[in-house]
């Protein structure tokens, strides 16, 4: 392990400053996505080589977007859509890649034994995992993006219960096995609030595969893991146990995630990940589960009343710019993310993914436009619009 840590320490390097604004000033051919560049120099399947060169963007948050599109039920949040409308899952992968994701992450989040037990579909465990992996692999190989396997919170883990720990180990071992069969380029273990559980996920990845591991913790309103460790302490443990990338995802929006990410960046030597939810969490309500809506009698907004708290594209752009400037290279957006957020994140890194063809340009707007072809009778009306 010491040799491994030293090797990682040698490989660590700070990113160059991201390209400066204005983002609409780039010509269409001036920049390519990281994916296209990586494809060209033989790094298509190598996460660590890509991280060495710069940022890697990973779109997450598939469940929330599929819920909004009408193909997934909030509550249990199990992606039965994999069977019912696989074409919708494929299109969402394609939409995120079009918007700048460097990764196509298999939608095996909540396709584990425990969640399928809760909805009474345990018999579909294997085919549903394989469907998710098949769809993601197809998109990844066509697009030159990285193909990631996904492990997540089991909702079974209890540090005091040996049989629960055995069940967690079983869940992770079998999901790692199916993903290895599918040929994933690396693993993500995500949205895990117990570092003990995250270590079990990492152990399964290390035991049953040879590919890199990204492990991201989910931190609720208290700035500690379920055991009471700071995220920095927890990430040190994950690094010591061999994780290639450590960090946090989900639950917290940019504003309340950033302070924790800074602490993690200075506590570990390996690459750091930050994938906030695109919601305006606050010092008083640090997680999206804690947000209450003053327009709705201070009811809990999670999960389907979060719309008024949505972060703008600019807020995600600012998050990406700041995080990359701090040396955080594995970036993404989690639950609530739409392709427009991923595009804003890509543009914050000076990139021009295909979706940037349609990035806002108000110069030709009917009323607020500055283009000489806009009629004066319309622009004169600006103060009243
Ligand atoms: Zn999430």
Spatial distance between the Cα atoms of 272 and 324, rounded to a whole number of angstroms? 10
> How far is the centre of ligand 1, averaged over its atoms, from the C-alpha of 104 (Å)?
15
> How far is the centre of ligand 1, averaged over its atoms, from the C-alpha of 60 (Å)?
7
> How far is the centre of ligand 1, averaged over its atoms, from the C-alpha of 128 (Å)?
20
Predicted local distance difference test score (pLDDT) of residue 7:
41
Angle (CA) 369 99 41, round 5°: 125
> How far is the centre of ligand 1, averaged over its atoms, from the C-alpha of 65 (Å)?
11
Please answer whether residues 180 and 151 qualify as being in contact, where contact means their C-beta atoms are separated by less than 8 angstroms: no
- Residue 380 exposed, middle or buried by CB count within 10 Å (0-12, 13-18, 19+): exposed
Beta strands 299-300 and 292-293: pairing type? antiparallel
The beta strand positions in the chain, using DSSP E, are 56-59, 103-105, 146-152, 186-192, 213-217, 245-249, 271-275, 292-293, 299-300, 330-333
- 362 DSSP assignment: G
> How far is the centre of ligand 1, averaged over its atoms, from the C-alpha of 250 (Å)?
4
> How far is the centre of ligand 1, averaged over its atoms, from the C-alpha of 363 (Å)?
36
> How far is the centre of ligand 1, averaged over its atoms, from the C-alpha of 9 (Å)?
30
> How far is the centre of ligand 1, averaged over its atoms, from the C-alpha of 372 (Å)?
45
> How far is the centre of ligand 1, averaged over its atoms, from the C-alpha of 64 (Å)?
8
Predicted local distance difference test score (pLDDT) of residue 19:
37
> How far is the centre of ligand 1, averaged over its atoms, from the C-alpha of 325 (Å)?
23
> How far is the centre of ligand 1, averaged over its atoms, from the C-alpha of 191 (Å)?
7
> How far is the centre of ligand 1, averaged over its atoms, from the C-alpha of 63 (Å)?
8
Predicted local distance difference test score (pLDDT) of residue 44:
74
> How far is the centre of ligand 1, averaged over its atoms, from the C-alpha of 67 (Å)?
13
Q: Is 195 left (phi over 0), alpha (psi -120 to 50) or beta?
A: alpha
Taking alpha carbons only, the member of 282, 304, 308 closest to residue 293 is 308
> How far is the centre of ligand 1, averaged over its atoms, from the C-alpha of 247 (Å)?
13
Spatial distance between the Cα atoms of 243 and 246, rounded to a whole number of angstroms? 7
Please answer whether residues 39 and 352 qualify as being in contact, where contact means their C-beta atoms are separated by less than 8 angstroms: no
> How far is the centre of ligand 1, averaged over its atoms, from the C-alpha of 106 (Å)?
14
297-308 tens-digit pLDDT: 999 999 999 999
Predicted local distance difference test score (pLDDT) of residue 18:
38
Spatial distance between the Cα atoms of 122 and 104, rounded to a whole number of angstroms? 25
For tokens 């696989």, the residue is: 86
Per-residue pLDDT of the chain (385 residues; tens, 9 = 90+): 444 444 444 343 333 333 333 333 333 233 345 555 555 555 679 999 999 999 999 999 999 999 999 999 999 999 999 999 999 999 999 999 999 999 999 999 999 999 999 999 999 999 999 999 999 999 999 999 999 999 999 999 999 999 999 999 999 999 999 999 999 999 999 999 999 999 999 999 999 999 999 999 999 999 999 999 999 999 999 999 999 999 999 999 999 999 999 999 999 999 999 999 999 999 999 999 999 999 999 999 999 999 999 999 999 999 999 999 999 999 999 999 999 999 999 999 999 999 999 999 999 999 999 999 999 999 999 999 9
Beta strands 330-333 and 271-275: pairing type? parallel
Spatial distance between the Cα atoms of 231 and 248, rounded to a whole number of angstroms? 8
Please answer whether residues 281 and 253 qualify as being in contact, where contact means their C-beta atoms are separated by less than 8 angstroms: yes
> How far is the centre of ligand 1, averaged over its atoms, from the C-alpha of 382 (Å)?
40
Using only C-alpha atoms, the chain has a radius of gyration, in whole angstroms, of: 21
> How far is the centre of ligand 1, averaged over its atoms, from the C-alpha of 62 (Å)?
8
What token pair was written down for 207?
């035991």
256-280 tens-digit pLDDT: 999 999 999 999 999 999 999 999 9
Quickly count: other Cβ atoms within 10 Å of residue 338's Cβ: 22
Please answer whether residues 335 and 281 qualify as being in contact, where contact means their C-beta atoms are separated by less than 8 angstroms: no
Helix (H, G, I), strand (E, B) or coil at 273: strand
Please answer whether residues 49 and 75 qualify as being in contact, where contact means their C-beta atoms are separated by less than 8 angstroms: no
């Amino acid at each position: 392990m010491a040799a491994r840590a030293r090797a990682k320490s040698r490989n660590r390097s700070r990113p160059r400053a991201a390209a400066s604004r204005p983002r609409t000033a780039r010509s269409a051919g001036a920049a390519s996505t990281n994916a296209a560049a990586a494809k060209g120099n033989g790094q298509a399947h190598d996460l660590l080589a890509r991280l060495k060169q710069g940022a890697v963007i990973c779109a997450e948050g598939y469940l929330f977007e599929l819920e909004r599109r009408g193909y997934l039920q909030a509550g249990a949040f199990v992606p039965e859509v994999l069977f019912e409308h696989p074409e919708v899952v494929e299109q969402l992968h394609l939409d995120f890649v079009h918007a700048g994701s460097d990764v196509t992450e298999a939608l095996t989040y909540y396709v584990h034994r425990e969640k399928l037990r809760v909805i009474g579909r345990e018999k579909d465990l294997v085919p549903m995992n394989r469907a998710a992996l098949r769809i993601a692999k197809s998109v990844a190989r066509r697009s030159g993006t990285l193909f990631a396997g996904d492990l997540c919170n089991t909702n079974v883990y209890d540090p005091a219960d040996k049989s629960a720990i055995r069940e967690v180990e079983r869940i992770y071992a079998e999901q790692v096995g199916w993903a290895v069969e599918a040929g994933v380029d690396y693993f993500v273990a995500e949205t895990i609030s117990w570092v003990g559980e995250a270590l079990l996920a990492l152990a399964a990845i290390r035991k049953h595969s040879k590919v890199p591991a990204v492990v991201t913790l989910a931190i609720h309103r208290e700035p500690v893991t379920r055991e009471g460790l700071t995220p920095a302490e927890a990430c040190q443990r994950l690094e010591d146990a061999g994780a290639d990338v450590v960090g946090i995802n989900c639950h917290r929006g940019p504003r309340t995630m950033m302070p924790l990410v800074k602490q993690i960046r200075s506590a570990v030597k390996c690459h750091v990940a930050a994938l906030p939810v695109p919601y305006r969490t606050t010092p008083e309500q640090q997680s999206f589960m804690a947000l209450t809506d003053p327009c709705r009698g201070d009811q809990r907004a999670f999960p389907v009343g979060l719309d008024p708290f949505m972060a703008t594209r600019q807020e995600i752009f600012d998050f990406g710019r700041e995080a990359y400037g701090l040396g955080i290279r594995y970036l993404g957006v989690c639950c609530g993310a739409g392709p427009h957020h991923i595009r804003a994140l890509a543009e914050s890194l000076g990139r021009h993914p295909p979706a940037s063809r349609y990035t806002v340009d108000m110069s030709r707007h009917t009323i607020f436009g500055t283009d000489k072809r806009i009629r004066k009778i319309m622009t004169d009306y600006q103060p009243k619009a």
